[in-house]
Structure 1
Amino acid sequence: MEDAKQAVQATKSLAHQIATSLQQEIVQGTLSVEARLPSEAEIAQRFGVSQPTVREALKILAAKKLVRSKRGPNGGVFVNAPSLTAASQMLQEMTTWFVGLGVFGLNEIVEARLLLGRTCVQLAAERATKEDLETIEATLEAFERDDISDEEFCRLDVAFHHAIAQATGNNELRFIMLVVNDSLIPATNMISFRFRERGRVVSLHADILEALRARDASAATAAFEELIAYQSSVYEKALSARQGDGAQRQEA
């Protein structure tokens, strides 16, 4: 039994080593986008391992969205094109975990969103295209429905800020904001939604859009700063209420 466990652990260790090696080749461009990887037999021969070990390594790469499998006569395992969404999703999961554990405090969350978001609205005021503005406006129109759940409201809130990041025309900044918006906004909304006035949030969103249309970076920044200040105050109320509830339960 012990020998079997050790064999499984050894296979997993080798699989991770092979996956790391292939990942480096993908990142460095040795294996280019859409290129087909060598067969399992060829990879096994190269690394001196069994094909099941190679299969485990390919599963690791597939889980990271670095490769995909295709069946048929022209099938095989191919290198995926880079995806900002897929990459941000991995970072988002880690960021959400850190928020839940309290590794990121309220002040840090507010500061990060304020500094990065301020840059986004300033660039968007300068660079937003007609299509960008239409996308931002579409998220605001979706808020007008009466039957929006708290989860849907949060999703639209995230979509609004994603649209602004898209309007910056800077893909690296957009990638960073995908992580920030997808993790920090839901994490704080989950705590503060009972104390939030939806109309206030939507009104500030509209102020930001109006400033972007006018190419007024100062007004857009001011509206965004007011939005973050309001959300911060709501979050603080929610935390205070949660602490009060916790104290009452302990007394009971």
Structure 2
Amino acid sequence: MKIDPNSRADLSAQIAKAIRDAIVAGKLIVGDRLPSEAELAEQFSVSRPTVREALKRLAAQSLIRTQRGATGGAFVNHLSYDEAHSQQITTSTLLLSMNAISFDVACEARYALERACAPLAAQRRTQAHLQILRDEIATQSTANLSDEAFCASDVTFHRALVDAAVNPVLSYQLAGAVEAMQPLMNMITFSARSRVTIIALHRRIADALEQQDSAGTDDALAALEIYTKTLARDVMSVRAPHASENRSNAILKMR
């Protein structure tokens, strides 16, 4: 493992990357004990605080765990899908919010990924998955349900659809699509959407999955995508004149 002392990149980040690359390459495997801070400092020709910062970065990514005592130290961690799940959501949320991804692009990606799960979900769904879908439809039909609660139920419904594919890799990959993109899309469309329409589409999805109808599930998701995009365009077309008017008023106030 090596770093470039002449690189502009932070030394602790370089060390963390070198160790992470060694783990990914299989040179360090689950349970392996990393060299001590002093040994790593000597190996990379840096100070121990720099090494300590690198280890903190790796621990934050759940790649290593620390253990105290005579047999303690830093060890390569067993990274589970559950642990990686939240990181995927956080990363996806930050990417979407920081890079000005258009609504249509996010919507297209989210539904393309979700529809890819439809055939497996229709084939493998269990009664437990179906029960979650039905429970969320019941929740969404509750009178006086807040927008926040409806959006949360919406996310749970689609999470269950993805999980019905019974493929942990797909569930992990789609964590960002469902639990990062969906809330952001809800924020734009919640004020204009018809709960009755969404519930009807959700019921179509649940019915198709129960009948193990892959094509029916896909058709319902496609209809939901079209409805979501139409809503967003309607909302944005209404907002655009107001935004222009607000900018004009702001300019007048500056004069």
TM bracket, shorter-chain basis: 0.7 to 0.9
For the 8 Å contact 1:124–1:167, the answer to whether it is kept is yes
Gaps of 5+ in 2: 1-5, 250-255
Q: Deviations over 1:55-110 (max 9, x none)?
A: 01101112222223334455432323223354454444444344335642233223
Of residues 50, 57, 61, the one that matches 2:58 is: 61
The answer to whether the 8 A contact 1:201-1:227 is kept is yes
Is residue 88–residue 175 contact of structure 2 (8 Å, CA) maintained in 1? Answer: no
Structure-2 change in CA distance of 1:61 and 1:102 (3 Å): closer
Seq. identity, %? 35
Which residue does 1:125 correspond to in 2? 122
Give the aligned partner of residue 171 of structure 2. 174
> How do 1:240-251 residues align onto structure 2 when only pairs under 5 Å count?
240-251=237-248
After TM superposition, list the pairs within 5 Å mapping 1:88-107 onto structure 2: 88-100=85-97, 103-107=100-104
SS in 2 for 1:36: coil
Question: For 1:135 and 1:28, how far apart are their aligned partners in 2?
Answer: 39
Distance 1:238 1:36 in 2: 55
Identify the match of residue 139 of structure 1 among 136, 139, 164.
Answer: 136
**Displacement after TM superposition at 1:23 (Å):** 0.5
* Distance 1:12-1:224 versus aligned 2 partners, 3 A rule: closer
In structure 2, the residue corresponding to 1:163 is in which secondary structure? Answer: helix
| Cα deviation, residue 27, structure 1 | 1.4
CA contact (8 A) 1:165 1:173 kept: yes
Residue 138 of structure 1 and its aligned partner are, at CA, apart by 3.5
Q: Which amino acid aligns with 2:233?
A: E
Q: Deviations over 1:12-44 (max 9, x none)?
A: 832122111110122122222243323222322
CA distance in 2, matches of 1:205, 1:82: 34
Task: Decide which of 198, 210, 219 is 1:213's aligned counterpart.
Answer: 210
Query: 2 CA distance for matches of 1:226 and 1:92?
Result: 25
How many Å apart are 1:221 and its aligned residue?
A: 1.4
Kept in 2: contact 1:33–1:79 (CA 8 A): yes
State the secondary structure of the residue aligned to 1:69.
Answer: strand
CA contact (8 A) 2:141 2:199 kept: no
Tell me the amino acid that sits aligned with residue 110 of structure 1.
C
Q: Distance in 2 between matches of 1:118 and 1:92?
A: 19
Of 94-103 and 173-182, more deviation after overlay is shown by 94-103
Give the equivalent residue in structure 2 for 1:198. 195
Cα distance in 2 between the residues matched to 1:172 and 1:90: 14
1:152 is aligned, of 149, 157, 172, to: 149
Q: What is the distance in 2 between the residues matched to 1:242 and 1:85?
A: 39
Alignment coverage as a number of residue pairs: 244
Contact 1:11 1:53 in 2 (8 A): no
Cα separation, 1, equivalents of 2:71 and 2:237: 60
CA RMSD of aligned residues (A): 2.7
Q: Given that residues 165 and 177 in structure 1 are in contact (C-alpha distance below 8 angstroms), is that contact kept between their aligned partners in structure 2?
A: yes
Shift of 1:215: 0.8
Q: Does 1:231 align with 2:253?
A: no
- Report if aligned partners of 2:88, 2:172 keep a CA contact under 8 Å in 1: no
Secondary structure in 1 aligned to 2:191?
Answer: helix
Give the TM-score of the pair, scaled to structure 1: 0.83
1:160-202 deviation per Cα after TM superposition (whole angstroms, max 9, x unaligned): 1121111112333222211111221111111121112223222
Cα distance in 1 for residues equivalent to 2:140 and 2:68: 43
